Amino acid sequence: MDEYILEINDISKEFLGVKALSNVNFKVKKGEIHCLVGENGAGKSTLMKVLSGVYPYGTYDGEILLEEMVQQYREINDSVNAGIGIIYQELSLFPDLTVYENIFVGNELKKRGIVDWNQTIDQATEILNKVKLKVIPETLVKELGVGKQQLVEIAKALSKDVNLLILDEPTAALNDNDSENLLELLKELKDQGISCILISHKLKEIISIADTVTVLRDGKTICTLDASSGEVSEAVIIKNMVGRDIKEIYPKRLDKKVDENVLELKGWSAYDPELGRRVVENVNLKVRKGEIIGIAGLLGAGRTELALSIFGNPRNYKLQGEMEFQGEVTVLNHTSKAITSGIAYVTEDRKNDGLFLLQDIKNNISIARLKELSKNGVLNVNEEVKTGEIYRTSLNIKASSLEQIVGKLSGGNQQKVSIGKWLNTMPKVLILDEPTRGIDVGAKFEIYSIMNELIKEGMSIIMISSELGEILGMSDRIYVMAKGTIKGELNAKEATEEAVMELATQ
Amino acid sequence: MNFFKEAKALVKTNIRDYGMYIALFVILLTFTSLTNGLFMSSRNISNLLDSAGYIAVLAVGMTLVIVIRHIDLSVGFLAGFLGAISAIFLTQLGLSVWITIPVILLFGIVIGIVNGVLVARVGIPAFVVTLAGMLIFRGALLQVTEKSGTIIIKNEQFNAIGNGFIPSILQINGLHLLTLLVGIAGILLYIYSEISQRRNKLSYGFEVPSIGIFSIKLVVISAIIGYITWILAGYNGLSWTVVIMIVIVIIYHFFTTKTIIGRHIYAVGSNPEAAHLSGINVQRITYIVFGSMGMLAALSGILFTSRLQSATTTAGTLFELDAIAAAYVGGVSSAGGVGKVTGAIIGAVVMASLSNGMNLLGIGISYQYMIRGGVLAVAVIFDVLTRKQRA
């Protein structure tokens, strides 16, 4: 019969009462390529962190069997020693070190306590041959392209005698050619007896390479599909990835049709000088008064970049194309101009670039609108408190007072402060980037209700979200982005999760 | 019962702010008892405050620089260099004080803004930019004093800044009348502003501390102002240095707490990325903060030069580190975004009191350095621990 290299039985993991994984079962056969798929937040990364020892034994329930032996990793090194190699989505190479140094970093070959560089280079060459990377080992990693860097990552994993290789979206940043090379390599490694777990959003590559596919959703194993018996197809995978009941989560709202453009982008492109490529490419988009536009897409599709390029371009992209705001061609070259014109942007990562965590609620809510709260540059703190109170009540921010430090609030309440800060600027277009990430269902519902309330008052909302349910449940129209461009526009009433996914994975 | 609960809650939430006042109080009490009251004598306190002046103004600027997560190492020798330039203006060029001082302050602002541009626009770490500045101004100071050596200043108006006192009008029982009047005016102004603030808050229907706590606060702070005034009046009265310190604190306190610029400075310090996305011009704020630092360095140079009545070749040595230490003792946070200018002044006074007190006790300089180092370390440890508790 089939032998399993890895068996994960009934794994559950909780974060502060939120179940990230519940009774996940997952088995990988020896010498197969096993693809793990699921929406963002389905629990894939958490599962891999359990497997690699990032979350040590005891912080989760269930058991892990590797080659039929129970594993109890206390730290990452334990899983490495057991023969599990993980390559994360974000490359973890040192750009200023050479290829051979990178391959053996943390695993240096020593002779009497001193690094044996000759042997290191010798072995590095051997491993590089194995992964078919034709570079001199002395090359600096930063001189290699992303595709080759990814191969160095694999070489690094192979240098530690892995039996099970886990790759988290290895092709996300690669072009088609590099992706194909990588997938070829995985097949060859499989022939050499190395099993492989591949996490990917690109369904086409999954179908071309997978022996088995497991679908996760909401922290549960939904199904395991066997490629040899012909169960794997795009339609089947998508159907299993999505398809939850969304009716109850999204509050109803009345249809109100106003045919008046607030914001329009024509041939809009943004070139990022730091990355040296275009992050937004030829986008045409319309936002009407009083509607919610959903922008769907996978991580790295260019959605946040699009939002930033509209919102005063704080990253200094080189912009092309035309933006019409309220019927006039507008150039916004600083966030302050975007704010005064009536655009607001609630960031995706509220802790790092949204809120002032050490300051109190009052200061956070007023910071983008101090001019209106002051006279000749001198603040009227009492007015400030008054407006702060208005948003604390209307957004139902749960805090003992406005003087409470924002860093101490729960995620949902922090998000409400973040929204309050931007509502305070009285925007005409409100951009919400992942508005419900990391907050519980109750707070989500509140935020959806607030959004409905706002558009009733004539505001327009651009909602960027990776959660399909939210996109379908809240939007009037949906734009699907991939690789920096808009792949299609869907009417929310006719759109299905399958249709959105199909465009997003193009 | 309720009263104590309220007081307890107030202390608990403000322990960070009160911490250094308590520390200062303990230090004053200790030295007073060890020196049999000599420490608290009018003459000594007057000397102590005058000797703290040139570090205190630097510490105010440094606090803001640290709040926006930068550092300025150049201010010591910048102060020394600009002090020497002012001496040259007064003696060799024969310019009047009224021209010299504004021009020197302007020089300071320009140099500070150059630092700010290099940091914020060109993107060089402040540590490196200002380290280079430190070397450059040290060289420049030596250059301008090379021929003449120490430049002696005979201008009485200028020397009064560091050594003179406000005129007395009349002595009553050996007390300096104008100083008393200024003190009383200060107390009245303080009480008036507190009451009008409270009334304003009430008119908005906001919560205010109970009348008991409020009056205790008024009485205590008025008593402190009164006591300091009384001590100073017992000697020569308010010195011009102290007047300058008070004016600087009031101006900076106003700007940092009551204006948009102040709010923006703290926003940039606590999260530069979020500040940028909130429409704040982070570069401009950096220029302003470094510009103000440069101006205060110039002022510090003027105070020091005037106090010595001469410009020396080594003026300004280690001022920057004393100012940084005072800022940290005064509660600025190394993580950015937290720190008050009033704290900076208290920090400078704490450090000056330590030196002064230990000198009175005849403690050797070697121990003095170690004790001051220890106090600095304790201040930062306290900061880190109270921050952990808050988070």
Model pLDDT for residues B330-388, shown as the tens digit of each residue? 989 888 888 999 999 999 999 999 999 999 999 999 999 999 999 889 888 887 787 66
Cβ atoms of A161 and A152 within 8 Å: the answer is no
Segment A232-290, tens digit of pLDDT: 887 788 778 765 544 456 777 766 667 788 999 999 999 998 888 889 999 999 999 99
- Here the tokens at position A456 are 């009733």
> What's the rounded Cα separation, in Å, for the pair B167 and B181?
12
Beta bridge partners of A65: A7, A70
In the predicted model, what is the mean pLDDT of chain A? 87
Cβ atoms of B300 and B79 within 8 Å: the answer is yes
Q: Is B343 on the interface with A (CB under 8 A)?
A: no
Among B263, B274, B280, select the one facing A354 at the smallest CB separation: B274
Segment B153-165, tens digit of pLDDT: 999 999 999 999 9
Nearest CA in chain B to A336: B279
Say how many CB pairs under 8 Å bridge A and B.
89
Cα angle, residue B170 at apex, residues B167 and B171 outer, rounded to 5°: 105
Tell me the ipTM for this assembly: 0.85
Residue B251 lies in a domain: yes
Segment B123-137, tens digit of pLDDT: 999 999 999 999 999
Please give the pLDDT value at position A66.
87
Among B281, B338, B391, select the one facing A407 at the smallest CB separation: B391
Please give the pLDDT value at position A437.
77
- Here the tokens at position A283 are 């986008």
Q: Is A106 on the interface with B (CB under 8 A)?
A: no
Segment A401-443, tens digit of pLDDT: 888 889 888 778 899 999 999 999 999 999 999 998 767 667 7
Beta bridge partners of A283: A268
Segment B189-234, tens digit of pLDDT: 999 999 998 988 888 877 788 888 889 989 999 999 999 999 999 8
- Phi (first) and psi of residue A366, to 5 degrees: -90, -15
Furthest CA-CA distance within chain B = 72
CATH of the domain at B266: 1.10.3470
CA dihedral B232, B236, B239, B242 (to 10 degrees): -10
Cβ-based neighbours of B150, under 8 Å, separated by 6 or more: B310, B311, B312, B313
Task: Give chain B's domain count.
Answer: 1
Listed by number, the residues of chain A in 290-329 with a beta carbon closer than 8 Å to a beta carbon of chain B are 311-312, 314
Nearest CA in chain B to A358: B270
Residue B384 lies in a domain: yes
Cβ atoms of B380 and B53 within 8 Å: the answer is no
Residue A378 has pLDDT above 80, yes or no: yes
- Measure A15 CA to nearest chain B CA, in Å: 19
Cβ-based neighbours of A390, under 8 Å, separated by 6 or more: none
Residue B365 lies in a domain: yes
The pLDDT confidence band at residue A205, using thresholds 50, 70 and 90, is confident
Cβ atoms of A464 and A307 within 8 Å: the answer is yes
Segment B37-84, tens digit of pLDDT: 899 999 999 999 999 999 999 999 999 999 999 999 999 999 999 999
Please give the pLDDT value at position A234.
78
CB contact under 8 A, B337 and A312: no
Instruction: Name all domains of chain A by residue range, CATH numbers in brackets.
Output: 4-241 (3.40.50.300), 246-342+427-506 (3.40.50.300), 359-425 (no CATH)
The pLDDT confidence band at residue B28, using thresholds 50, 70 and 90, is very high
More confident call, A364 vs A146: A364
Residue A94 has pLDDT above 70, yes or no: yes
Residue B51 lies in a domain: yes
Residue A494 has pLDDT above 90, yes or no: no
More confident call, B256 vs A168: B256
CA A152, A156, A161, A163 torsion-angle sign: negative
- β pairing state of A460-464 and A429-433: parallel
- Here the tokens at position B276 are 């940028």
> What's the rounded Cα separation, in Å, for the pair A272 and A423?
29
Residue A19 has pLDDT above 80, yes or no: no
Q: Is A393 on the interface with B (CB under 8 A)?
A: no
DSSP A227-268: TTTT---HHHHHHHHS----TTTS----------EEEEEEEE
By C-alpha distance, which of A84, A24, A27 is closest to A53?
A84
By C-alpha distance, which of A108, A479, A85, A124 is closest to A303?
A479
DSSP A370-427: TGGGEETTEE-HHHHHHHHHHHHHHTT---S-TTSBGGGS-HHHHHHHHHHHHHTT--
> What's the rounded Cα separation, in Å, for the pair A450 and A439?
15
Residue B311 lies in a domain: yes
A349, A370, A389: best to mutate for the B interface, most B CBs within 10 A:
A370
Q: How far apart are the first and last CA of chain A?
A: 38
Cβ-based neighbours of B10, under 8 Å, separated by 6 or more: B209, B213
Residue B94 lies in a domain: yes
By C-alpha distance, which of B110, B114, B139, B142 is closest to B129?
B114
More confident call, A201 vs B95: B95
- Phi (first) and psi of residue B169, to 5 degrees: 65, -60
Cβ atoms of B174 and B232 within 8 Å: the answer is no
Residue at A379: amino acid letter: L
Q: At which residue do the structure tokens 């560091």 appear? A: B162
The pLDDT confidence band at residue B106, using thresholds 50, 70 and 90, is very high
B20: containing domain? 2-164+239-390
> What's the rounded Cα separation, in Å, for the pair A152 and A134?
11
Residue A134 has pLDDT above 60, yes or no: yes
Cβ atoms of A244 and A473 within 8 Å: the answer is no
> What's the rounded Cα separation, in Å, for the pair B38 and B21?
21
Question: What percent of chain A is modeled with pLDDT above 90?
Answer: 37
The pLDDT confidence band at residue A218, using thresholds 50, 70 and 90, is confident
- DSSP character for A140? B
Task: Give me the mean pLDDT over the A456-468 stretch.
Answer: 90
CB contact under 8 A, B260 and A371: yes
Please give the pLDDT value at position A1.
46
Please give the pLDDT value at position A239.
78
Q: How far apart are the first and last CA of chain B?
A: 29
Residue B391 has pLDDT above 50, yes or no: no
DSSP 3-state assignment of A202? coil
- DSSP character for A350? I
Please give the pLDDT value at position A40.
65
- Measure B200 CA to nearest chain A CA, in Å: 8
Residue B329 lies in a domain: yes
In the predicted model, what is the mean pLDDT of chain B? 91
- Measure A345 CA to nearest chain B CA, in Å: 8
Please give the pLDDT value at position B189.
94
- β pairing state of B151-152 and B310-311: antiparallel
By C-alpha distance, which of B105, B86, B248 is closest to B155?
B86
Q: Is A334 on the interface with B (CB under 8 A)?
A: yes
Question: What percent of chain B is modeled with pLDDT above 70?
Answer: 97
Cβ atoms of B71 and B126 within 8 Å: the answer is yes
Segment A319-361, tens digit of pLDDT: 999 999 998 999 999 999 999 999 999 998 888 889 999 899 9
